[in-house]
Homo-oligomer: A and B are copies of this chain.
Amino acid sequence: MSETINIQEFARLEMRIGKVVAVRDHPNAAKLYLMDVDLGPELGRRQLVAGLKPYMPPEALQGTLIVVVTNLEPAVLRGERSDGMLLAAQEGDRVVPLTVAAPLAPGSKIR
């Protein structure tokens, strides 16, 4: 069980709805995708690196609404920049992206 955090710590995290515009294989990593994600008018389009390749084909992600942490320090993963982190839930060897229960505009904030 994790340590307790307070609401101020939680509030430092920015999460938004993103729409997956394109998915392609990472050129140097067997388990990673490169994804172009529309994060709405304020943030625009960003590239994310996500470890979803063992769990779903690109077509299952294309066009979907996902949940992205948008204010993490950018990372470089095997030579490709990741400008945000996709959130997914894991149960044993299954990994499933988070989404919204009904469609909302890209860029919508999570609270």
A interface vs B, CB < 8 Å?
1-7, 9-10, 12-17, 42-43, 64, 67, 69-73, 75, 85, 87-91, 94, 96-102, 104-105, 108-111
A10 to chain B, nearest CB (A): 6
A104 to chain B, nearest CB (A): 5
A13 to chain B, nearest CB (A): 6
Whether B99 lies near A6 (C-beta < 8 A) is no
What B residues does A69 contact at CB under 8 A? 10
Whether B71 lies near A89 (C-beta < 8 A) is no
Complex Cα spacing A73 to B108, Å: 26
What B residues does A9 contact at CB under 8 A? 9, 12-13
Q: Name the contact of A90 in the complex, choosing from B4, B5, B111 (C-beta under 8 A).
A: B111
Given known contacts A89-B110, A91-B108, A104-B96, A5 and B12 CB-to-CB distance under 8 angstroms: yes
Complex Cα spacing A17 to B70, Å: 21
What B residues does A43 contact at CB under 8 A? 1
Whether A104 lies near B94 (C-beta < 8 A) is yes
